[in-house]
Amino acid sequence: MGLHPVRVTRAGKDELGEQLMQTMTERGLDMRGVQSDPSRPTGRVLVTESASGHVFDILPDQAYDPIHAGVLGIAIGFGAQSLVKDYFIGLFLLLEDQVRQGDVVEIAGKSGLVEEMTLRYIRLRDYEGSVHYVPNGAIDTVTNRSRTFAHAVIDVGVAYREDVDEVYAVMRTVAAELRADPEMADKIEDDLDIAGIDKWGDSAVVIRCRFKVKPLEQWGVRRAYLYRLKKAFDAAGIEIPYPHLTIYAGQPKSGQAAPLPLSLQRESD
C-alpha cells in the first residue's frame, strides 16, 4: 500500500479534522483507526506539520515503524530545506529591488524578459519566445540590463591598409547623423565614444566604440549604427575585411623571395 498525502491549504484544527475524517472514511477507517471494512488492512494516521501546512496520511500497520518514519522525515526535511531557500532568496531579491517585472536579466545561465516574479521562482521569456522558470534558490548572480542607462558596445573591423584617422572621422560623422535622426534621438544620451584600436585581428584592425543609451535600447542602436556605417564605408572606399589566406613561399637570407610556381587547370565539361 503506497503513501497518499493530503495537504491542507489553510492551517486550522477544524478543517484539518474534517479533511482527516474524510480521508479516513475513504480508506474505510473509523476515528479509532479500526477497520470498518474487515476485508481491508488496518492502518494508522500519520500527521506531519511543515512550512506549507499540515500533511497527513494513512499508513499500514506494517509500515509504521521508526525506520519508515525516519526515512519519511528526512525526505520531508530535504524538500522543506529547498523550499525555504527559494523563499528566502526570493524575499531578498524583492527587498533589495534587484529584479523587477519587465527587466531584461541574466540569471542562472538564462537570459530574457522578466514576465513574472514570485517568492518561489522567476519566469523569463527569451528572444526566441521560450519560457524559462528559474527557482530563486538557483540564483547566485543577477545581471540586470535595464537600470538607469546602458552602453551599445560596437567593434568595427577595417583592413590593415586603411588610415585609422580617416576611419575615425567616418565613424563620428555617421554617429552624428544617427543622433540627428528623430527616431533615434530620444534613445541616445551621449555622443559616440571611441575607445581606440582594441586588437589586431588575423585580417582586420578592430576599433571599439560605444554609445550611452537608455535602458533596453542598446541592441536597436547598435544595429542602426552598423547599418549606416556599412553604407558609409562603401561610399568612402574603406574595406571591411573578411577572412582570407596569404601564401608565403619564404625567402633566403639575401632578401630575395623565390618565385612561387602556380598552374591553373580547367576541367573540361
- Cell digits for 49? 506539520
**Which has more pLDDT, 9 or 248?**
248
| Predicted pLDDT at 62 | 47
Read off the DSSP letter of residue 173: H
Average pLDDT over residues 48-55: 44
Q: CATH class for domain 98-144?
A: mainly beta
CATH number corresponding to 150-236: 3.30.70.100
Note the pLDDT tens digit of each residue in 132-170: 999 999 999 999 999 999 999 999 999 999 999 999 999
pLDDT in tens, 58-82: 445 444 456 555 666 666 666 677 7
pLDDT for 227 equals 97
The packing angle between helices 218-236 and 164-180, to 10°, is 130
Contact 102, 146 (CB under 8 A): yes
β-partners of residue 35 are 29
Which cell numbers hold the place of 133? 522558470
Dist. CA 175–CA 240, nearest whole Å: 18
Kind of pairing, strands 53-60 and 6-8? Answer: antiparallel
For the chain, the domains span 6-93, 98-144, 150-236
Residues 242 and 202 sit within 8 Å (Cβ to Cβ): no
Q: What is the pLDDT of residue 203?
A: 85
Q: How far apart, in whole angstroms, are the C-alpha atoms of residue 211 and residue 251?
A: 47
Q: Give the per-residue pLDDT at 67.
A: 59
pLDDT of 241 above 50: yes
Percent of the chain with pLDDT over 90: 51
Specify the 3-state DSSP secondary structure of 122: strand
pLDDT of residue 257: 67
Q: Which ranges constitute the DSSP H helices of the chain?
A: 13-27, 66-95, 164-180, 182-185, 218-236
Of residues 3 and 165, more confidence is placed in: 165
**Tens-digit pLDDT profile for residues 96-116:** 989 999 999 999 999 999 999
Among 43-47, 242-246, 249-253, which is the least confidently predicted range? 43-47
Residue 105, helix vs strand vs coil: strand
Q: List residues bridging with 105 in a β-sheet.
A: 112, 144
Compute the mean pLDDT over every residue in the chain, rounded to the nearest whole number: 78
Is the pLDDT at 13 greater than 60? The verdict is no
Q: How far, in Å, are 18, 110, 205, 206, 226 from residue 151 at the CA level?
A: 60, 21, 22, 18, 15
- Per the model's pLDDT, the better-predicted residue between 267 and 215 turns out to be 215
How many Å separate Cα 227 from the centre of its chain? 28
How high is the pLDDT of residue 69? 58
Question: In this predicted structure, which of 19-23, 78-82, 163-167, 205-209 has the lowest mean pLDDT?
Answer: 19-23
The vertex-141 CA angle with 135 and 144, nearest 5°, equals 95
Question: Looking at residue 11, what is its pLDDT?
Answer: 44
Neighbours of 116 (CB within 10 A): 12
With a pLDDT cut of 70, the percent of the chain lying above it is 64
| C-alpha to C-alpha distance for 104 and 219, rounded to whole angstroms | 12
Asked if the model's pLDDT at residue 40 lies above 70, the reply is no
